[in-house]
């Protein structure tokens, strides 16, 4: 297979006249063999399918974008909350015009015109046959089937670029990258406990409202929005949502979500546990905040990193991007030997910085592989190092881990956390993370990069969420449940800000690591070690830690931090779930458990 790929340049001049001479081509990426877990598809015939290639163009000055984002996101700055317009962000993110011209001229030599460009021009897309893609990139595109998921992708084991274009192109996707099918947030189901009405053994909206002081009073500010990102064509079922609300939020009479497909994506009303959990806990917690389900990709190809970039670029093209975006899918952070995929990860991270600069809070699940990272059996353990998860390692998103139990909350053992090998630690984390590292001493030495971006940033409950799938109650666990929970809290705080004429929160982290620290309940017990690995992972500890971040949120305190007024100062207690003390909550929880036990026993 590899030999065939390397022979293709000799055919270029025959297929397309005036092609680049072989001597001018430089190999850009090359795999030694077919990636583990994949097999060539016997049904695929070259030329039968078209390939949508995304070409990344390096930004001219990414540092200015990042500096501006931090400036408008820092509560101590005079520019705090002064988010940028669509065109202002595009100007900060634009590539060098020389690079754009070089790429478009190159494509023009092959009769190819870009079909789509991002608003800032840092990515462009072309749609070509596999034969033309092979000629363009000196490649040998072939269909591969993932043996576990039975999804099919088209990839090449190598590709090359003309020497003069080498520095003008950040990445070309898809080519040799096969990371997409490795990992999404882990779920587990438990039919037996799904429709318990107490908080014993199951988490419900009322349980979360009481635990974190989340109000049930409907949001009423205009201009608010909460988007849920679906990758790989994952569906969410509106009928399941209605069954869920009838059971757990009967006061929400017309709860719904809009569906917004991008490219050729379509929502499947059948729904699954992932999409249903995301929509049921955003609609069910962020009362009356408009929720939109954004669908990227398709089920045939599975969940791909390109879905992340497609979603971000689509949202950046809108005149009004969402104020909150939550995503419950994660990937292994690209390794150092995959430069193209690393460049793509940087481009995705820059897209999230652009969204943050426009006022969007970008929120991601941390992942469910503990400190080991990935979900496949060899990830992390085989290399005896911790594998960080992406996009949580991007400094411009807010990463959410998971907790378990109630009194006290403890770290969920599956909750991913650690340190990036790709992105350096941002300055807003220095104080909190250095304090954690000082207590680590030599624990897990050599297994992680202590100077990398640390994650997660915060946490919420993530075990045994009651959801409805296909009309049946099931239990759902994972940081996939934690991310929409925290996103709902942010959306409700935005409602209060908008109602008082203030800017939405936007990029959260500089605020969270400064004024916001006092608004979180510190989680000091538990760890994210994994039985598959020799190392024990990281321990929860006082202050920030690499399992639960800053801890779990207190809605009233967080609202007070950003507005100077808690919910209790703004509304009467009768209009919301009471903000009871954790001690009183524990007493009620224990009493309920005894009553339920006696009822079952008889």
Segment 44-58, tens digit of pLDDT: 767 667 899 999 999
The helix or strand, by DSSP H or E, that contains position 282, with its residue range, turns out to be: helix 273-283
* Torsion, CA 194, CA 228, CA 282, CA 269, rounded to 10: -50
Residues 325-372 pLDDT 10s: 999 999 999 988 888 999 999 999 999 999 999 999 999 999 998 988
User: What's residue 247's pLDDT?
Assistant: 95
The predicted pLDDT at position 545 comes to 98
* pLDDT at position 73: 98
Of 122, 272, 273, 274, the catalytic one is 274
State yes or no: pLDDT of 72 exceeds 90: yes
Q: Give Cα 13 distance to the centre of its chain.
A: 43
Nearest to 546 by CA among 462, 476, 443: 443
Confidence of residue 186 (pLDDT cuts 50, 70, 90): very low
Q: What DSSP letter does each residue of 372-399 carry, written as one string? A: G--SSTTTTTTTTS---EETTTSTTSEE
Q: Which residues are bridge partners to 293 per DSSP?
A: 228, 259
- Within 8 A by CB and 6+ apart from 6, the residues are 158
Q: Which of 278, 298, 340, 495 is catalytic?
A: 278
DSSP letter (8 states) at residue 598? H
Contacts 24+ apart (CB under 8 A), 535-541: 535/371, 535/384, 535/386, 535/444, 535/447, 536/444, 537/370, 537/371, 537/372, 537/386, 537/444, 538/371, 538/417, 538/418, 538/440, 538/444, 540/410, 540/411, 541/436, 541/439
Residue 405 assigned ligand-binding role: no
- Tell me the two tokens of residue 189: 């189901």
The full length of the chain comes to 602
Rank 115-124, 276-285, 436-445, 558-567 by mean pLDDT and report only the highest: 276-285
Q: Is 543 annotated as a binding residue?
A: yes
**Could you report the per-residue pLDDT of 492-549, keeping only the tens digit for each?**
999 999 999 999 999 999 999 999 999 999 999 999 986 555 557 899 999 999 999 9
Secondary structure (DSSP) of 94-107: -B-HHHHHHHHHHH
Q: Quickly tell me which residue has 């974190």 as its tokens.
A: 212
Q: Nearest-CA neighbor of 344 among 54, 50, 36?
A: 54
Give the Cα separation of 460 and 479 in Å (integer): 8
Output phi, psi for 2, to 5 deg. Answer: -65, -40
Is residue 483 annotated as a catalytic residue, yes or no? no
Residue position matching structure tokens 């001219």: 60
**Chain centroid offset of residue 561 CA:** 26
**pLDDT confidence tier of residue 258, bands split at 50, 70 and 90:** very high
What pLDDT sits at residue 577? 40
Q: What is the pLDDT of residue 581?
A: 42
Q: Which of these ranges, 195-204, 418-427, 499-508, has the smallest mean pLDDT? A: 195-204
- Provide the pLDDT for residue 535: 57
Q: Please report the domains of the chain, with CATH numbers, ordered by start residue.
A: 2-58+100-173 (no CATH), 191-587 (3.40.50.200)
522 is in an annotated binding site: yes
CA–CA separation, 141 and 128 (whole Å): 12
- Concerning whether 464 is annotated as a catalytic residue, the answer is no
Among this protein's residues, is 278 annotated catalytic? Answer: yes
pLDDT at 23 over 50: no
328: nearest Cα among 183, 458, 193, 454: 183
Given 328, 420, 477, 480, which residue is catalytic? 480
**What's the pLDDT band for 271 if we cut at 50, 70, 90?**
confident
Tell me the pairing of strands 291-295 and 226-230: parallel
* Residue 595 in this model has a pLDDT that exceeds 60: no
pLDDT of residue 11 exceeding 60, the answer is no
Q: What percent of the chain has pLDDT over 70?
A: 82
Q: What is the mean pLDDT of residues 555-568?
A: 84
Higher-scoring residue by pLDDT: 338, 181: 338
Question: Which of 239, 251, 257, 237 lies closest to 205, judged by CA?
Answer: 251
Q: Give the residue ranges of DSSP H helices in 284-322.
A: 305-317
Q: How far apart are CA 53 and CA 133, in angstroms?
A: 8
* Distance from the first to the final alpha carbon of the chain: 67
More confident residue, 373 or 139: 139
pLDDT band for position 269 (cuts 50, 70, 90): low
Angstrom distance (rounded) from CA 418 to CA 422: 12
User: Is 545 annotated in some ligand binding site?
Assistant: yes
């Amino acid at each position: 297979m590899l030999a065939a790929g390397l022979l293709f340049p000799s055919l270029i001049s025959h297929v397309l006249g005036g092609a680049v001479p072989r001597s001018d081509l430089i190999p850009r990426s090359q795999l030694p063999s077919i990636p583990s877990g994949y097999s060539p598809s016997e049904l695929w015939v070259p030329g039968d399918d078209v390939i949508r290639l995304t070409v990344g163009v390096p930004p001219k000055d990414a540092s200015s974008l990042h500096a501006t984002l931090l400036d408008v996101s820092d509560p101590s700055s005079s520019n705090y909350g002064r988010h940028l317009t669509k065109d202002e962000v595009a100007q900060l993110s634009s590539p060098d015009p020389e690079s754009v011209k070089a790429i478009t001229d190159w494509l023009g030599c092959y009769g190819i015109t870009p079909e789509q460009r991002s608003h800032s021009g840092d990515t462009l897309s072309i749609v070509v046959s596999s034969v033309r893609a092979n000629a363009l990139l000196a490649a040998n595109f072939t269909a591969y089937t993932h043996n576990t998921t039975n999804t099919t992708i088209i990839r090449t084991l190598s590709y090359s670029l003309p020497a003069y274009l080498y520095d003008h192109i950040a990445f070309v996707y898809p080519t040799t990258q096969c990371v997409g099918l490795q990992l999404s947030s882990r779920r587990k189901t438990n039919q037996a406990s799904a429709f318990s009405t107490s908080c014993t053994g199951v988490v419900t909206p009322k349980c979360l409202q009481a635990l974190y002081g989340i109000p049930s009073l409907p949001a009423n500010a205009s201009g608010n929005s909460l988007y849920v990102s679906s990758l790989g064509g994952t569906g969410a079922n509106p009928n399941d949502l209605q069954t869920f609300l009838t059971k757990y939020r009967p006061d929400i009479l017309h709860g719904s979500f809009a569906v917004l497909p991008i490219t050729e994506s379509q929502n499947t009303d059948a729904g699954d546990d992932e999409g249903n959990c995301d929509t049921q806990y955003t609609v069910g917690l962020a009362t009356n905040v408009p929720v939109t389900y954004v669908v990227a990709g398709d089920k045939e190809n599975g969940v791909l990193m390109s879905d992340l970039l497609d979603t971000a670029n689509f949202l950046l093209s809108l005149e009004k991007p969402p104020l909150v975006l939550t995503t419950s899918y994660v990937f292994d952070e690209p390794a150092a030997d995959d430069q193209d995929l690393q460049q793509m990860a940087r481009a995705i991270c820059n897209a999230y910085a652009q969204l943050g600069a426009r006022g969007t809070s970008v929120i991601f699940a941390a992942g469910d592989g503990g400190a080991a990272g990935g979900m496949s059996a060899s990830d992390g353990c085989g290399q005896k190092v911790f594998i960080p998860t992406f996009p949580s390692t991007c400094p411009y998103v807010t990463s959410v881990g998971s907790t378990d139990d109630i009194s006290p909350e403890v770290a969920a053992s599956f909750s991913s956390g650690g340190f990036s090998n790709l992105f350096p630690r941002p300055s807003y984390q220095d104080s909190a993370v250095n304090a954690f590292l000082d207590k680590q001493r030599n624990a897990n030495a050599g297994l992680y990069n202590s100077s990398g971006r640390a994650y997660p940033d915060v946490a919420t409950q993530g075990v045994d969420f009651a959801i409805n799938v296909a009309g049946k109650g099931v239990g759902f666990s994972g940081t996939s449940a934690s991310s929409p929970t925290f996103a709902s809290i942010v959306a409700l705080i935005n409602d209060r800000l908008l109602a008082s004429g203030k800017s939405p929160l936007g990029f959260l982290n500089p605020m969270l690591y400064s004024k916001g620290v006092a608004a979180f309940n510190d989680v000091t017990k538990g760890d994210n070690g994994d039985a598959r690995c020799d190392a024990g992972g990281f321990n929860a500890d006082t202050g920030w830690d690499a399992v639960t971040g800053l801890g779990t949120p207190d809605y009233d305190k967080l609202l007070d931090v950003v507005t100077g007024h808690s919910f209790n100062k703004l509304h009467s207690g009768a209009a919301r779930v009471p903000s009871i003390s954790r001690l009183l909550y524990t007493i009620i929880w224990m009493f309920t458990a005894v009553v339920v036990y006696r009822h079952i026993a008889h």
